[in-house]
Chains A and B, each alone.
Chain A
Amino acid sequence: MARDSQAALVALNRFGFGARGGASGDLINAASDPRGFVKAELARPNGVLLEAPGLQSTPQLGQAVFAYQDQVKQAREAAKAAAPAEAPQPAPADQKPGLRRNLSLNAVATEIAGQMTEAKPADTAAKPEMMQPGAAAPPAAKPAPQPLNVIQKTFRAEALARLQRATLVECGFTERLVVFWSNHFCISASKGELARIWAGAFEREAIRPHVLGRFADMLKAVEQHPAMLFFLDNQQSLGPDSRAGQNRKRGLNENLAREIMELHTLGVGGGYTQEDVTSLARIITGWTFAGRQGQLGTPGSFVFNTNAHQPGPQVLLGKTYEPAGLAQGEAALADIARHPSTANFIVTKFVRHFVADDPPPALVARLRDVFVRTDGDLKALATALVDSDEAWKAPLTKMRSPYDFLIASGRLLARVPEDPGAYLNNLNLLGQPLWSPAGPNGFPDTSAAWAAPEGIKLRLDIAAQMGARLGNNIDPLDLLEFAAADAASVETRKTIERAESRQQALALLLMSPEMQRR
């Protein structure tokens, strides 16, 4: 088959995370069979799951937070008792960035498992070694950084596992799907300590197993996950007529019910009313997670609390749901997942993400049919997208998100992250802090959002920094070959050829339209 570099760009950039540099041969492989290259990942059994040493389950992580919070409390009380005049040691803030560098995934994992007290800060593999003017003796280091707490360690380990996977996978289509669905069903790690420690586990447990499965299953997994219940406050919601509601004089919290319909399924204008929101909120009362005492079950695990559940039948979207405990809500979610508005909302968003800010209507219509006909089979949906001509013909005008940009750069430079710190920093800086969107609607997904003046200038600063650090060792024209080959524009090629240094050439390559657009 003839090589088609333009199609290879679509395969790698539109569907994946961009070509890897080095000896990967990604661009050549993608050019010889673009659709096959993308679809190969869909065929890999369990290819979406993410398992790495040390990554723990949601209940284990919940218990770790509870234990940590107890420790902090005890330490504070002990300090107060010992020296009442002194200010108590402040608890480490939720997102105090750590100083430690160069922790490998295994090191992080080992630390979490408590088998290692301190990681060595020095990167012994780094060449050249770094020194400091005026340092009398080599080991005269700065004051030791405050050790990371279990929440920070976990967040970094989860982040590193995700970053490494995205950097290493062949095309990246399934990882892009993970990011899409994870952003669709987002939580925010900035909600609090539980959300932060659970952010990675939420994605591993509720999103990944269903990315090539059924939408209804993902929906159920997401809405029953402790991270989502915590993020949208459902653990506080009590049926007004439930035993707990009557005892505690507290009642409904509609937050989760509203976002389920507005953001997760039907979409604004999807045909639901305020009455439906309230009704769904009542239906899912009692969906919570077991607390530190473990009265309802294993601490940190999803439980159905009958005592908090609103008794009686509920009418939702014109249908009556008889009282059936947990099953009442599960039946309601299953129906919402099949609602025509859901198909429309999901598919439109899906096509907007992968193809164009203004999704081609014919493509949306066709994929909607696939979604409905297959009862929300997300693998069929992804396959139909790759099989469509529109997805290959539409010009590459979407702006890469900061996450996509950083991953694509790391892949092209063949740098497997050893430490998530730099990525997390740059994501914060560029306005896409990992697993921490500003609201439950997730990060924006249009070019305008990411092509803002400040954002572009910051990307340039980051690209210049990467160029300064890494440009020395690369041939920029080789890298352009890896990234785009003959699909690179004449102007981009010339700009890179004429750069005054390899460092500058690398910065310009990373900022070129070929690397910024997908």
Chain B
Amino acid sequence: MIDCVENRLLTSRRGLLLGGASFAAWAYLPKFARAADGRDPRLIVVILRGALDGLSTVAPVGDPDYAGLHGSIALAADGAHPAIMLDPFFALHPSMPEFARMYRDRHAAVIHAVATPYRDRSHFDGQDVLESGYAGPGRVQSGWLNRALEALPRGERVSSGLAVGPTTPLVLRGNAPTVGWAPVALPQADDDTAMRLADLYRHRDPALAAALSQGLQLEKAANGDDMKRKPGNQVVQMRQVARGAAKLMAADDGPRIAALAFDGWDTHANEGGPVGRLAFLLGGLDGALAEFESGLADRWRDTVVVVATEFGRTARINGTDGTDHGTGTIALLAGGAVKGGRVISDWPGLKLANLYEGRDLKPTTDLRSVIKGVLQGQFGLSDRVLAETVFPDSASARPMKGLVA
């Protein structure tokens, strides 16, 4: 509401647009070029909001307890929609063929059983920790990526860190200036939000419940696909966002660092296995990674994309074919600069005794180590800056070596 573009208003209800780009001189930041090899590295941080089920994305099919815990939604190497074997133990969700290709080309890697230091189950706090880079939810107003930007060595000046989407995510907020870009057509309220609201109305306000459910049905009818899930919509949007960001970042004087967020990963019910809701979202993420690759073109070889989420989901499925808030999950790396073709994991096992609080995949790797490793590999930030400034009080989480080629 606050910032729509007025002119497109009456053409359609998709006129609920976000204020397209307004042009202004933007601030400049140093370009960091590694003197030794002339590389001009780029980093893209993708945050999956809602807590991704790592065990459904990169499934430990070799773990004897996996299939039983994940039940009806467990992936398998055989069947109608076989998962893609990454190694003899881990298999990738079948809706991620692009990532699988990058992995085979050794330009993608998985880090499994990973988590931030956060051990509770609130999305907001979990996202705070993930993005602020602090060990606990402290409501600081700066993020680790912004502080990393501030710490970069001076160099030729290029445009600032890029926040993709209507607002700057916390991870990129702070003293270092940023620029923003959002695709003009913002999505309507997504199905997940609509369903949550419908549920609230059902309990609290039957009249509004009836109106909303009719409104949603009208919407679906208008879209011409009856009661089916709208394929496309969100997937198309993820690709569109990635395409725009890649184009900006590919420019010689474009931003070297970007952050964006994809919503909708809170799969409490009807999560689906090789097909279904999570599959749909993962397909969107996969498409976005492919867009980054093609959009960055020659620059892809100097690029790392980090995909991370605030926490994982329970190892065992719940009573509604979904998973509840958990702890350990995965992080994904993709890009020409990634030393890939590996699933990096100190696998804790899924025996009941090995689960965190008897529920979740136990984290054995600190996500901060992964991110520090990427920041160091790409930009050469020192251990000390990483431990004190970028991720305060994180000396115990040593940068993971050898992630970047």
A-to-B contact residues, CB < 8 Å? 97-99, 101, 121-124, 126-135, 138-141, 145, 406, 409-410, 413, 415, 417, 421-426, 428-429, 447, 451-458, 460-473, 475-476, 489, 491-492, 495, 497-505, 507-508, 511-513, 516-517
Are B1 and A422 interface neighbours, CB within 8 A? yes
Pick the residue among B165, B179, B189 that contacts A464 (CB under 8 A).
Answer: B189
Question: A472 with B22: in contact, given A464-B188, A495-B199, A513-B201 (CB under 8 Å)?
Answer: no
Are A131 and B180 interface neighbours, CB within 8 A? yes
List A contacts of B15 (CB < 8 A): 425, 429
Per-position binary interface string of chain B over residues 162-182, scored 1 when its CB falls under 8 Å from any chain A CB and 0 otherwise: 110111111000000111111
Interface size class of B (residues with CB under 8 A): 35 or more
| B36 CB within 8 Å of chain A | no
Chain A CB within 10 Å — which of B6, B27, B182, B194 has the most?
B6
Bound Cα distance from A461 to B168, whole angstroms? 21
Per-position binary interface string of chain B over residues 1-20, scored 1 when its CB falls under 8 Å from any chain A CB and 0 otherwise: 11111110110010110111
Bound Cα distance from A511 to B215, whole angstroms? 14
| B294 CB within 8 Å of chain A | no
Q: Which of B95-103, B202-210, B388-396 contacts A (4 or more CB under 8 A)?
A: B202-210
Are B204 and A461 interface neighbours, CB within 8 A? no
Residue of chain A at shortest CB distance from B264: A500
For this complex, 23 residue pairs linking A to B, each with C-beta atoms less than 8 Å apart, are A101-B19, A128-B163, A128-B180, A129-B22, A129-B26, A129-B179, A130-B180, A134-B248, A138-B23, A140-B23, A141-B23, A410-B2, A426-B4, A428-B9, A453-B211, A453-B213, A464-B189, A468-B165, A471-B167, A476-B124, A495-B200, A507-B189, A513-B201
12 new A-B contacts at CB < 8 Å, known A123-B24, A461-B13, A501-B127: A101-B6, A128-B160, A128-B177, A133-B181, A429-B16, A453-B213, A457-B212, A464-B189, A465-B186, A492-B204, A501-B49, A501-B124
List A contacts of B4 (CB < 8 A): 421-422, 425-426, 465
Bound Cα distance from A417 to B3, whole angstroms? 9
What's the dominant secondary structure at chain A's contact region?
Answer: helix
Are A465 and B1 interface neighbours, CB within 8 A? yes
Bound Cα distance from A417 to B201, whole angstroms? 30
B-to-A contact residues, CB < 8 Å? 1-7, 9-10, 13, 15-16, 18-27, 49-51, 122-124, 127, 139, 159-160, 162-163, 165-170, 177-182, 186-190, 192-194, 196-197, 199-201, 203-205, 207-208, 211-219, 243-245, 247-248, 261, 263-266
Q: How far is the CB of A516 from chain B (nearest CB, A)?
A: 7
Bound Cα distance from A170 to B160, whole angstroms? 41
Q: How far is the CB of A465 from chain B (nearest CB, A)?
A: 6
Are A465 and B18 interface neighbours, CB within 8 A? yes
Are B22 and A98 interface neighbours, CB within 8 A? no
Q: How far is the CB of A436 from chain B (nearest CB, A)?
A: 13
Bound Cα distance from A40 to B200, whole angstroms? 35
List A contacts of B23 (CB < 8 A): 122, 130-132, 135, 138-141
Are B212 and A491 interface neighbours, CB within 8 A? no
Question: A127 with B168: in contact, given A461-B188, A461-B189 (CB under 8 Å)?
Answer: yes
Pick the residue among A134, A423, A495 that contacts B247 (CB under 8 A).
Answer: A134
Are B204 and A99 interface neighbours, CB within 8 A? no
Residue of chain B at shortest CB distance from A447: B207
List A contacts of B7 (CB < 8 A): 97-99, 145
Are A451 and B10 interface neighbours, CB within 8 A? no
Are B181 and A130 interface neighbours, CB within 8 A? yes
Are B166 and A469 interface neighbours, CB within 8 A? yes
Are B263 and A460 interface neighbours, CB within 8 A? no
Are A139 and B2 interface neighbours, CB within 8 A? no
Bound Cα distance from A129 to B19, whole angstroms? 12
Pick the residue among B3, B24, B180, B243 that contacts A138 (CB under 8 A).
Answer: B24
List B contacts of A429 (CB < 8 A): 9, 13, 15-16
Bound Cα distance from A277 to B266, whole angstroms? 64
List A contacts of B21 (CB < 8 A): 130-132, 135
Q: How far is the CB of A425 from chain B (nearest CB, A)?
A: 4
Are B165 and A97 interface neighbours, CB within 8 A? no
Are A469 and B215 interface neighbours, CB within 8 A? no
List B contacts of A422 (CB < 8 A): 1-4, 6
Bound Cα distance from A475 to B127, whole angstroms? 12
Q: How far is the CB of A457 from chain B (nearest CB, A)?
A: 3
Q: How far is the CB of B234 from chain A (nearest CB, A)?
A: 13
Are A131 and B159 interface neighbours, CB within 8 A? yes
Residue of chain B at shortest CB distance from A451: B211
Are A469 and B3 interface neighbours, CB within 8 A? yes
Are B1 and A460 interface neighbours, CB within 8 A? no
Bound Cα distance from A447 to B210, whole angstroms? 13
Residue of chain B at shortest CB distance from A495: B200
List B contacts of A500 (CB < 8 A): 49-51, 123, 192, 263-266
Q: How far is the CB of A241 from chain B (nearest CB, A)?
A: 46
Are A138 and B26 interface neighbours, CB within 8 A? yes
Bound Cα distance from A499 to B26, whole angstroms? 34
Chain B CB within 10 Å — which of A126, A127, A421, A468 has the most?
A468
List B contacts of A130 (CB < 8 A): 19-24, 179-182
Bound Cα distance from A428 to B194, whole angstroms? 22
List B contacts of A456 (CB < 8 A): 208, 211-212, 215
Residue of chain A at shortest CB distance from B160: A128
Are A457 and B218 interface neighbours, CB within 8 A? yes
Q: How far is the CB of B355 from chain A (nearest CB, A)?
A: 22
Q: How far is the CB of A271 from chain B (nearest CB, A)?
A: 36
Those 10 A-B pairs whose CB atoms lie nearest each other, nearest first: A457-B215, A464-B189, A500-B50, A453-B214, A500-B266, A453-B215, A128-B180, A133-B247, A421-B6, A128-B178
List A contacts of B194 (CB < 8 A): 460
Question: A460 with B200: in contact, given A122-B24, A131-B179, A138-B23 (CB under 8 Å)?
Answer: no
Residue of chain B at shortest CB distance from A516: B208
List A contacts of B1 (CB < 8 A): 406, 409-410, 422-423, 426, 462, 465-466
List B contacts of A455 (CB < 8 A): 211, 215
Are B6 and A129 interface neighbours, CB within 8 A? no
Residue of chain B at shortest CB distance from A502: B124
List A contacts of B162 (CB < 8 A): 131
Bound Cα distance from A19 to B312, whole angstroms? 37
Question: A453 with B218: in contact, given A461-B188, A463-B189 (CB under 8 Å)?
Answer: yes
Are A470 and B180 interface neighbours, CB within 8 A? no
Bound Cα distance from A262 to B279, whole angstroms? 60
List B contacts of A121 (CB < 8 A): 22
Are A123 and B190 interface neighbours, CB within 8 A? no
